Structure 1
């Protein structure tokens, strides 16, 4: 059986803004690990040159990816549900920022043109991009977030003191002219010899937290078709991927890492 197709079609006039740039939203059904089906929301703003997706994980966490192509910033956010009977918060927000690369996700203009023939089709990723482990060794001052990307205040509003990135990404953004005052280097594991949060005894003590998330389905590449009527290949669809991330970062209190270890 052929997989359901997402097509790249001309943008409908109703989606065109005053300047002729498209803002669009698409909802697709995707199969999560374990077989559950969930609805994923895809958004594109070709005027602002950004795309986003949002999906609820099997454990209830709401995961989103925002790609800001102008500023070369990728924002991965998780709203993690807490167990209130254990004294945890209703939810906890985490934001992880990394440099956005061209091959990470399809461009905003292409995302805005996606249409699907069968909205009820359940989609599964064609390519598994594996697990990427990232040590987040820099804290980001959210109050100055607009200096890095205009999306930070909106996407990471609930995260406040839980916005992280890496030294290597900071170096790249500084070369692009971003003010370094919004970044604060965190002590390394070796400097403090801190335990993992799952092994720390004191709930109020600092420790090394681990959090894992998975993007079960997202448009990662463009597909090109050939036709007798066209001398050159043309964009005609997308290739979908899945990708997992494992983040490591320091927290000032063990209670800020209630999940303990990666799943």
Structure 2
């Protein structure tokens, strides 16, 4: 159970995780949540907030080694996903690639504030039983999205200050045209053109990466459409309120008494330069 009282990077090595946690949350506590995935494996999510920046970050490592980071910038209404992917040896062998194959992929999209708990509320969360395995109360299903724009990381601050430091390792930062237009409309009018100019359209390839044969002599120069499936298996998605009475006046009142938790999966499609940038596309 969680009480209402008040990030995070995971790397392949736990020591790196703890170092980067301390860098992001020098003044904010972080929660380590035990969760169980669909395969029955118990994973650890790290959840933290930076109230002064109005930012929340959640991170966990999947059973296959992929590290999923979700950053919520409430001030700029931007949601960022970064995935650090280590391809399986079997995938590499079948596609004729050499291990180890490690890649960072980043996506930025419009944040719907009502779907998440604000940074100040996250900062007040405490666990009564930190060793308990948590399960989401609601499953919000799958979100399908196709990304057709590439964001210039050197211009990304006009959208969010957090894109560049989080996505510096990524070859491409993917965004959608609809989100660019929304950010241009809700931001500083003087920066609207800068927002729209910060990204370039990417032509959708004719072939899926999984359908491109490594034996094709043009495979190294043939762009293809990649797909990536991942989930956020547990996250705070709402506040719970309890009813009570004021001890002095006896009047009825409501107060925060916990959180509602959710799960959500995402299916993203996006163009890549060639097959080597999408060795996992096999579903």
Q: TM-score surpassing 0.5?
A: yes
State how 1:84-233 maps to structure 2 within 5 Å. Answer: 86-159=97-170, 161-175=171-185, 176-177=187-188, 178=191, 179=194, 180-189=196-205, 194-201=206-213, 202=216, 203-204=219-220, 205-229=222-246, 231-233=252-254
1:49 & 1:32 partners in 2: Cα distance?
Answer: 29
Q: How many residues end up aligned between the 2 structures?
A: 242
The answer for the alignment partner of 2:82 in structure 1 is 77
Greater helix share, 1 or 2? 2
How far residue 156 of structure 1 moved from its aligned partner, in angstroms, is 0.7
How far residue 89 of structure 1 moved from its aligned partner, in angstroms, is 4.9
1:90 & 1:195 partners in 2: Cα distance?
Answer: 22
Q: Judge conservation of contact 1:49–1:70 (CA < 8 Å) in 2.
A: yes
Q: Judge conservation of contact 1:24–1:45 (CA < 8 Å) in 2.
A: no
The answer for the alignment partner of 2:19 in structure 1 is none
Gaps of 5+ in 2: 7-26
Q: Structure 1 147/88 Cα, relative in aligned 2: closer, same or farther at 3 Å?
A: farther
Alpha-carbon displacement from aligned partner over 1:197-248 (angstroms, at most 9, x marks no partner) = 0001243111110001111111111111111226332111111111000000
How far residue 102 of structure 1 moved from its aligned partner, in angstroms, is 1.4
Aligned structure 1 segments of 4 or more residues deviating by more than 6 angstroms: none
How far residue 254 of structure 1 moved from its aligned partner, in angstroms, is 1.1
The answer for the alignment partner of 2:256 in structure 1 is 235
Gaps of 5+ in 1: 12-21
1:31 & 1:166 partners in 2: Cα distance?
Answer: 32
Q: Structure 1 89/136 Cα, relative in aligned 2: closer, same or farther at 3 Å?
A: farther
Alpha-carbon displacement from aligned partner over 1:58-114 (angstroms, at most 9, x marks no partner) = 221000100000000000111000347741454101111110011221100100000
The worse-fitting range, judged by mean Cα deviation, of 201-210 and 61-70 is 201-210
How far residue 138 of structure 1 moved from its aligned partner, in angstroms, is 0.7
2:208 & 2:65 partners in 1: Cα distance?
Answer: 24
SS in 1 for 2:160: coil
The worse-fitting range, judged by mean Cα deviation, of 200-209 and 40-49 is 200-209
2:282 & 2:116 partners in 1: Cα distance?
Answer: 28
- Return the match for 2:274 from 243, 253, 256: 253
Q: Judge conservation of contact 2:31–2:47 (CA < 8 Å) in 1.
A: yes
Q: Judge conservation of contact 1:211–1:261 (CA < 8 Å) in 2.
A: no
1:67 & 1:89 partners in 2: Cα distance?
Answer: 31
2:144 & 2:239 partners in 1: Cα distance?
Answer: 26
TM-score (structure 2 length as normaliser): 0.81
How far residue 167 of structure 1 moved from its aligned partner, in angstroms, is 0.7
2:165 & 2:4 partners in 1: Cα distance?
Answer: 29
2:145 & 2:137 partners in 1: Cα distance?
Answer: 24
How far residue 28 of structure 1 moved from its aligned partner, in angstroms, is 1.1
